[in-house]
Amino acid sequence: MSERARLVLVTPAPSEGAEWPGALADQLAAAARGGRIDAIIVRLPRLDDRTVIKLLKPIVPVAQEHGSAVLLEDAPALVARSGADGVHLTGLEGLRDALETLRPQERIVGVGGLRARHDAMEAAEAGVDYVMFGEPRRDGTAPPFPAVLERAGWWAEVFETPCVAHVESLEGVEPMAATGCEFVAVGDAVFNHPDGPEAGVREALAAIEAAPVIER
Question: Average pLDDT for residues 13-25, to the nearest whole number?
Answer: 76
- CA dist 115 and 183 (Å) reads 19
Domain 6-210 has CATH 3.20.20.70: yes
Q: What is the model's pLDDT at position 8?
A: 98
What's the CA angle centered on 154, arms 99 and 164, to 5 degrees?
45
pLDDT tens string 72-126: 999 999 999 999 999 999 999 999 999 999 999 999 999 999 989 999 999 999 9
**Are 160 and 129 spatial neighbours (Cβ–Cβ below 8 Å)?**
no
pLDDT tens string 147-205: 999 999 999 999 999 999 999 999 999 999 999 999 999 999 999 999 999 999 999 99
pLDDT tens string 41-79: 999 988 899 999 999 999 999 999 999 999 999 999 999
Neighbouring residues of 156: CB distance < 8 A, sequence distance ≥ 6 = 163, 179, 180, 181, 182, 214, 216
Among residues 19, 59, 18, 29, the alpha carbon closest in space to that of 42 is found at 59
For 108, list phi and psi in degrees, rounded to 5. -85, 140
Among residues 100, 46, 36, the alpha carbon closest in space to that of 73 is found at 46
